Structure formats: structure tokens, C-alpha cells
Structure 1
Amino acid sequence: MSPSLPATELLALYPAIGALDGDVLAALCDPKAVVSVNQGAELFAEQQPCHGFPLLISGTIKIVKCTPAGREMLLYRVEPGDSCVITSSCLLGHVTYTACGIAETSLRMVVLPERVFECLIAQNAAFRDFVFRLFAERLADMMLLLEEVAFHRLDQRLAKLLLAKAEPIQATHQLLADELGSVREMISRLLKGFAAQGLVSLGRERIRVLDRNGLRQVAGLNRPPPIDG
């Protein structure tokens, strides 16, 4: 990897760090500072202290909440150019992590040290705006997730999830259950019901939507037209 490649990628994804002191930026963009993580690796866990702010160059991190029984609920994903709001809140509040971060794919990243993060937040308006703008967006997403879990049936949420995915859907029933904060047995039962209704066809780790309009009705997305007069 050429010495300039990480700097080029980082500044394109996170232009606000361009305001860093030259020596700090050079150290951060040194190819030796780039961390490669394998798919499935745990980046952080609940109750662990937070020592830095990840700047993701490639790959995806999934942020999940785990139960004592081992179930997971997907809270959100972090992609290149994004901010991890769990990490932001930990660094700003000087508290431990309240969720787990897992490499959903193999990924590359560098870690902004805690002291540098605090300096940027205090002195750099562009970086501060970047962190708090994404903080607000994530908070809105979390409120929508809370509304979905609290007020919508699981079959509605599963139908919405299937409609949102690219086809053919390549996912295990366990993966879908994790995304919805449910259990595999419930998801398998609902999918078999969808298949019996002709809404989907099921294969090995593959789902094909056959009737999108029918799924939209299950999800509550098709509303009857207004009555004239």
C-alpha cells in the first residue's frame, strides 16, 4: 500500500480531520496505523472502556444489543464515512460501552485517539458538526426502531425487512431474527406462513419475494384509497 493511499481515503471520507495538526494527521494516516479486522471479530463489548473513535475506511460494523440469553438486536450499522454514536456518547460522557460492535464484513480502519477526539470536538467546528449531525440522525433512527418494536407486529416488521432487501435475499433465518430482535424459530414459522400464502419462496439461505404487493399489505404499507364524498 502506498503511503499516500490511507490519507487520500481518510480525507475523502472524513474531510473534517484535515484540520488536525500536521504531525498528528501524518501519524493517523501512516499505513502502519491502518487496522485490518476479520469478519465476525468483536471490536468492543458492553461495559468495556472506550479509548478511541473509529474512522472506517472499508467494510461494515454492526452495532448490536445483546441479552443474557445470547439474543441480539441490531441497532444500526456503521459504514465508511459514518460515525459510531455509541462510541461518541462513550467518549463524550466518559462512560463504558452500552452495546457491542462486530465486524459484519472484513474491514479496514484507523482509530482516532481519545485525546485527539476531545481536541477536535472542542476546537474544530466541522468535526463537531459531523459528530453531532450523525448523532441526531442515529437518534431519529433509534426512535423509529423503538416504535417498530413497541407498536408493530413481528410479521409486519419481517415483511418490511424483506421488502427493503435486494433480491434474491441471501440470509439465514437466524440473521433475520437478529436484525429484528427475535428468535430463529419465530422467523422460520412466519416465513413458512409467507411461503404458504405465495408471498415468498424459500431456499437454502435464500428467499425470493414472489408477491411484493402482498408483502406490502402484510407490512401495512398498502392503505385503502380515500372514500370520496
Structure 2
Amino acid sequence: MTRAMIEDWTARFPGLAQLERPIRDLLLARGRVVTLDEGTLVFGPGKSPENMLFLLDGSVRVQQVSETGREIVLYRIHAGESCVLTTACLLAYDDYSAEGVAETPVRAAAIPRTLFDELVATSPAFRSFVFAAFSKRITDLFLVIDEVAFQRMDVRLAATLIELSEGAETLDTTHQKLSVELGTAREVVSRQLTEFQRRGWVRQSRGTIHLLDRPALHRLADEG
């Protein structure tokens, strides 16, 4: 890996871009850029983090899997973000309790634990960056808990269809994948999608959901 290839990756993160030049040079010198294929298990339960990852390209899905095999998506890490679970495990010297899966090809900057510990202890600016990102994601996780515990499933499904479609009229997904997103049974998702189809909001085909009435889905999602 040449210096030119990693010369400016810290500029992708506003908090890192504001660090003193010697700290940024240290990150560039001791960090390394890694690439992962789609579907790669980035981390998993029972494993201890060896690096702090800063995502440069791609998306990582962080999900919890119960003893019975039920899954729920906790959050996603996108380019320009770091992982709150990794941060928590590094700070607490604990193992992961969830798994992270590359949803797309991923490129990330990996900072070794020793450097992370050193900078948290000696650099107020780096420490502020770490805890600012940590607190924001914790707030997001509380929103997930609120949605799962208190919001109606039809409202959550409508919001998820809108979010995952990213403005497109079709969404390539399955009932099983949506059940993981929502932390519920596939049968629950199937019943709700059938109701949406009855109302003329969506049309289903194998592996694809066509959004026919996005305004209606938005109105329902806004009820949450």
C-alpha cells in the first residue's frame, strides 16, 4: 500500500479532519486500508475487536441474532462513519455481542487497538471525536428500541420500504429480509404486505416489491 493511496482518507471524516496534523499523520502511518467483499462477516459475537474501522466506501449491516435464530438489524454503517459497537468493545475491552456483515464491497481504514487506546488517552480532540460519534449512534439505537417496542408494524414496514427503496419504484428484497430489518416473523411481514397490496400501495413479485403509491406509504410512515 503506497502512501498516496491513503494520503487523505482522514479528510473523509469531519472530526478527524480537524485533528492536529501530527495526529493525522500518525493515523495514516499506523493505519491501513482494507477491502472486503460483499457478504463478508466483518465481526461476530464472541470475537474481540483488533482494529477501529472507519468506513470509506460501502455499507455494513450490524444485526443481532438470538439463540433461536431470530435476527434484527440494529443499524448500518455508511461511508464516513465508524461503528459504535466496535467503539464500545474497544473502550470496555469486551467481545462483540452482534455481527457486522458487508452489504456491498467495502473499503475501510483500520486503526490498531494500540493506537486507538493511545489516542483516546492522549488526544482530547480524538477522544471528543470518538465520543461524539458514539453518543449519536447510541441515540439512534434508542430509536430502534422505541420502534420495536412501541410502533405499529404497518407503520414500521411502510417506513422501511421507503428507506430501502432509496427513491426507486422497485425494491429487490424478500419477506425474510424485511423480517430481519424489522425484527419480526416473516409471516407478519407477509400478512402486512398482502394488506398493502390489497390497498393498491404495492405489487409483489418474486424477490421484488413494486411501490405503486409512495405518498400513501409516506402518510402511514408519518403516523409513527
TM-score (norm 1): 0.85
Deviation, structure 1 residue 41: 1.0
8 Å Cα contact 2:197/2:204 also seen in 1: yes
Cα deviation, residue 18, structure 1: 4.6
> Does residue 43 of structure 2 align to residue 41 of structure 1?
no
Give yes or no for contact 2:6–2:28 (8 Å, CA) kept in 1: no
Whole-Å separation in 1 of the counterparts to 2:20 and 2:50: 18
1:120 maps to amino acid: L
Q: Residues 105 and 12 (structure 1 numbering): CA distance in 2 closer, same or farther, change over 3 Å?
A: same
1:178 is aligned to 180
Looking at structure 2, the residues matched to 161 and 200 of structure 1 have their Cα atoms a distance apart, in angstroms, of 13
What SS does the corresponding residue of 2:7 show, helix, strand or coil? helix
In 1, the alpha carbon distance for the partners of 2:106 and 2:6 equals 13
In the alignment, which residue of structure 2 is the partner of 1:153?
A: 152
Deviation string, structure 1 residues 41-93 (Cα, Å, up to 9, x no partner): 11111121122211222111111111122221111111122121101111111
Q: Mind listing any 5+ residue stretches in structure 2 that lack a counterpart? A: none
Q: Distance in 2 between matches of 1:60 and 1:185?
A: 28
Q: Which moved more, 1:178-187 or 1:87-96?
A: 178-187
Identity %: 35
Considering only aligned residues, what root-mean-square deviation do their CA atoms show, in Å?
2.2
Q: 2:191 aligns with which of 189, 192, 200?
A: 189
Q: Report the more deviating stretch, 144-153 or 3-12.
A: 3-12
Name the residue aligned to 2:120. 121
Cα gap change, 1:27 to 1:154, in 2 (>3 Å): same
Judge conservation of contact 1:19–1:124 (CA < 8 Å) in 2. Answer: no
In the TM superposition, 1:30-69 aligns within 5 A as: 33-69=32-68
CA distance in 1 between partners of 2:27 and 2:198 (Å): 60
CA shift at 1:25, angstroms?
2.8
* Secondary structure class of the residue paired with 1:148: helix
Higher alpha-carbon Rg: 1
Match for 1:221: what amino acid? E
What SS class does the counterpart of residue 188 from structure 1 fall into?
helix
Q: Amino acid of the residue matched to residue 208 of structure 2? A: R
Question: Any gaps of 5 or more consecutive residues in structure 1?
Answer: 223-229
- SS of the residue corresponding to residue 109 of structure 2 reads strand
